[in-house]
Structure 1
């Protein structure tokens, strides 16, 4: 990581997207962008790799389906079989149509809850974590782009940022 970074403030998400594309065309490195709301297409414009969270969600859903199948088979067939509404409980397959709603709900439950936990762990968000937001205005209505710089390219990057709509630029020393 560079010892100095430029913090460029933008007032609109479209202006920010234009500036990101302009910096990427000139092969400058954008470290981070802080936004008050999600900006559609920003990850692709920054050149970030795709996420694998959808794959984990599918796997968590399969875990939920397996747990629900095992749970219903154990409870309703093996451990405590009951004659409910005249339906025999001799095998799981005979009773499976009645278990489909439970299987669906457990699949969604496991996928949703384990995805939240995975997201928090992957994002390193846990209770009492100190905020890493460099400017509090980005939680209200401003957008901040953090760009790594060295002594040679500070002026060139600042010019590109001003040309593309930055309302304010600060040079910050990383310690």
Structure 2
């Protein structure tokens, strides 16, 4: 049995890579992932990647931040230390809109950053998971899980027909920078 875990098709041109994705999908070969040095319009829909739910997390963190500061301000100015200044109410809501807005933005931004790092496993100090280091510079890489039932020679020929400049067989899941 082969020790190959992934078959990598390396492309020079994003249009050829998109053509390669079409050919692989036409032959019912599942694509593990695609690595590109820049965003490519339409690749998410072609690969069937769902929209991110990060916006929902931002909304929830923003609500938490706004509620937190509004509760703290109410407690401090009405219960803990009420001050009568010029006969105004103890808790004048328009005066606290700016600080509430700032805390809402603060909680939403930090919450989104932490949620993104948690969801993608991009913690500080962790080595990035990349199939081929050239995908971060100037190459476009299609990774195919080699454990499927399609013969490797057929996948190699499909990738070469689509315009791959190189087809590699990886025996490791990721390449390290060391």
TM-score range for the pair, normalised by the shorter chain length: 0.7 to 0.9
Residue matched to 1:79: 80
**Is the 2:57–2:112 Cα contact (8 Å) retained in structure 1?**
yes
**Is the 2:122–2:128 Cα contact (8 Å) retained in structure 1?**
no
Judge which range, 104-113 or 14-23, deviates more: 14-23
The 1:146–1:70 alpha-carbon spacing in structure 2 relative to 1, beyond 3 Å, is same
The 1:105–1:87 alpha-carbon spacing in structure 2 relative to 1, beyond 3 Å, is farther
**Is the 2:33–2:143 Cα contact (8 Å) retained in structure 1?**
yes
Query: C-alpha displacement at 1:9, in angstroms?
Result: 1.0
Instruction: Decide which of 100, 116, 120 is 2:117's aligned counterpart.
Output: 120
Post-superposition CA distance 1:101-140 (Å, at most 9, x none): 2222211111110110011111111122123213221111
Q: What's the Cα RMSD here?
A: 2.3
Q: C-alpha distance in 2, partners of 1:78/1:9?
A: 66
Query: What number of residue pairs does the alignment pair up?
Result: 170
Query: C-alpha displacement at 1:39, in angstroms?
Result: 2.5
Query: C-alpha displacement at 1:151, in angstroms?
Result: 7.1
**Is the 1:6–1:148 Cα contact (8 Å) retained in structure 2?**
yes
Q: TM-score, normalised by structure 1?
A: 0.83
Instruction: Decide which of 84, 87, 102 is 2:99's aligned counterpart.
Output: 102
